[in-house]
Structure 1
């Protein structure tokens, strides 16, 4: 950008003139009076001293006034620029472009012009990121929907093959195929749910919720599933004591469903799960005796579900602390 004028250069020129011009004039006046008045008119030298003091006093006052006016104007322009720049932090949005005088274009105008260019670039980047995010969400939603048709067809063929006379190995293979189809369907559900959550299409309605009652209802719904898998259920839910969280009950139920489902999928071989509500510390505890997250399929298959649960918990101002080793996994949900 071509710089037409310099604010500080003009300031230095003006001050240079006020510093050097009056003494120069005083020298010429002194020389003139020295030739014309002192020798010819015998003018009192004390008057010349008073003129000199008056001239230097005027020079100092003018210098101070000029400096004060310059820095006052500079401070106003900088304060205006700082107010516009801090607009984003105060209002959590992009600031508006500032006005720039193209005919002046000093250092501050160039700074404002660069600031306006930065705003345009940031707005363009945000718009492109938003469009890419919408495209990604739309693609995931469409894939989740379109893949259900071939999965349904595969399940139909598995059902038909089950009616045929097959060897034991064939039956085991069909069982594994059916289990894999179910697993893929669950993964697509988790992926679609996570996409809806992050795109803001899954409403969040927090209310004061009785946590003991909510966990008790979730355990009752999952009890037949644990019983069918022959998993010993150790429940510690105080009947007379409870606590309340400002959460979305449907979101919290989904989090518990995901954790219980992970126990079924990845820790069923431990044949044990403990579900407890710690009223004193206001925590929900879920523990199993599986092989641990590092030694099971947690890392390969629980990523989307855990991401969904963690996102929901963060929105509800909660957090889940995971403790896992070869003796099992323990999840404690509490306030963030």
Structure 2
């Protein structure tokens, strides 16, 4: 069992023993014989010099012992501070410091508390990692397993669509098919977000030409918007551009998510506006849909928006959303 001792009590005892006790002993031994045979005037002078020398010895001894004590104390605290500073600069847990096993003082108790805190943080991080891994595995398995019943439902809906039924039944089948498609898209977004946050899709930033990237993304989506009869209003300068330190694949996925949300939730507006503002270094995507407060948008866009915001944050970018009943506007710029 560890025995506790007081560091400052030890300091005070040391001062008493090494400063006051030797002079007292010296005085007690010297006084009876030290001044015999000396006249009264010389005796008073010798006593004055003796007391002055004794006081000087006490003062010097006090400062020397205090300096040695606080120097040792500073070294121990500095070592503990260096360990904490190393963990702050390297963003990792520090290694436990050595603590005596027999007797401990206040500094050793502080070191023991520090070691206990490190152990608790390591255990907490380990549990968090295991829970995160389990959650990712569960989401991935659910996303995979639910595809089979959705495929079966779609097959039955297609078979029923070939049967003769009333107009109301046809409308119900159409709505069922749309619901199956929406659930499938949500599962894709959830799986994509899980893969993204688990680190399986690493962040690889490079200097990216934003004008060229947006033009390539718009060119890829243009046939889809044209098929849905959505007016594509674009303002993409060809002679001017700007650069971001970003992952081109991630930024393309962010734009894909915004364009996909227009098709899913704002197609009735029949309008999409894509702007690259070189002066402000911004990307603007706008539509004339019912807005983000619409129930369809809220139920289907949150996972995709979470994934987009996660990627933008990693790239030190941000997306500002402005939405009302006349449409939604998204401005992507530097954070």
TM-score above 0.5, yes or no: yes
Distance 1:41 1:203 in 2: 94
State which drifts further: 251-260 or 135-144.
251-260
Give 2:131's aligned residue: 132
Report whether the alignment pairs 1:294 with 2:262.
no
Q: Answer yes or no: is the 8 Å Cα contact 1:18–1:59 preserved in 2.
A: no
Report whether the alignment pairs 1:221 with 2:220.
yes
Give 2:236's aligned residue: 237
Aligned length: 333
Q: Answer yes or no: is the 8 Å Cα contact 1:22–1:59 preserved in 2.
A: no
State which drifts further: 158-167 or 208-217.
208-217
Give 1:14's aligned residue: 14
Could you report, residue by residue, the CA deviation over 1:70-109 in whole angstroms, capped at 9, with x for unpaired residues?
1111111111111112221011110000011122301111
Could you report, residue by residue, the CA deviation over 1:153-177 in whole angstroms, capped at 9, with x for unpaired residues?
1111111111111111111111111
Q: Answer yes or no: is the 8 Å Cα contact 1:319–1:335 preserved in 2.
A: yes
CA RMSD of aligned residues (A): 2.1
Give 1:89's aligned residue: 88
After TM superposition, give the deviation of residue 272 of structure 1 in Å: 1.5
Which consecutive residues of structure 2, in runs of 5 or more, have no partner in the other structure? Answer: none
Give 1:72's aligned residue: 71
After TM superposition, give the deviation of residue 197 of structure 1 in Å: 0.7
After TM superposition, give the deviation of residue 150 of structure 1 in Å: 0.6
Distance 2:308 2:69 in 1: 59
Distance 1:329 1:3 in 2: 69
Give 2:32's aligned residue: 32
Could you report, residue by residue, the CA deviation over 1:286-323 in whole angstroms, capped at 9, with x for unpaired residues?
11112221245322221100001111112222211111
Distance 1:216 1:169 in 2: 43
TM-score, with structure 2 as normaliser:
0.92
Give 1:206's aligned residue: 205
3-state DSSP class of the match of 1:193? helix
Could you report, residue by residue, the CA deviation over 1:28-60 in whole angstroms, capped at 9, with x for unpaired residues?
457635xx955x764731223222222222121
Distance 1:131 1:105 in 2: 36
Q: Answer yes or no: is the 8 Å Cα contact 2:232–2:273 preserved in 1.
A: yes
Give 1:326's aligned residue: 325
State which drifts further: 154-163 or 286-295.
286-295
Give 1:51's aligned residue: 50
State which drifts further: 51-60 or 17-26.
17-26
Distance 1:238 1:85 in 2: 51
Q: Answer yes or no: is the 8 Å Cα contact 1:235–1:276 preserved in 2.
A: yes
Distance 1:90 1:208 in 2: 27
Which consecutive residues of structure 1, in runs of 5 or more, have no partner in the other structure? Answer: none
Give 1:5's aligned residue: 5
Distance 2:212 2:107 in 1: 63
State which drifts further: 48-57 or 143-152.
48-57
Change (3 A) 1:209 1:31: closer
Give 2:247's aligned residue: 248
Distance 2:200 2:39 in 1: 98
Q: Answer yes or no: is the 8 Å Cα contact 1:22–1:55 preserved in 2.
A: no
Q: Answer yes or no: is the 8 Å Cα contact 1:22–1:56 preserved in 2.
A: no
3-state DSSP class of the match of 1:133? helix
After TM superposition, give the deviation of residue 240 of structure 1 in Å: 2.5
Q: Answer yes or no: is the 8 Å Cα contact 2:289–2:326 preserved in 1.
A: yes
After TM superposition, give the deviation of residue 236 of structure 1 in Å: 1.4
Q: Answer yes or no: is the 8 Å Cα contact 1:26–1:52 preserved in 2.
A: no
Distance 1:89 1:217 in 2: 42
Q: Answer yes or no: is the 8 Å Cα contact 1:236–1:275 preserved in 2.
A: yes
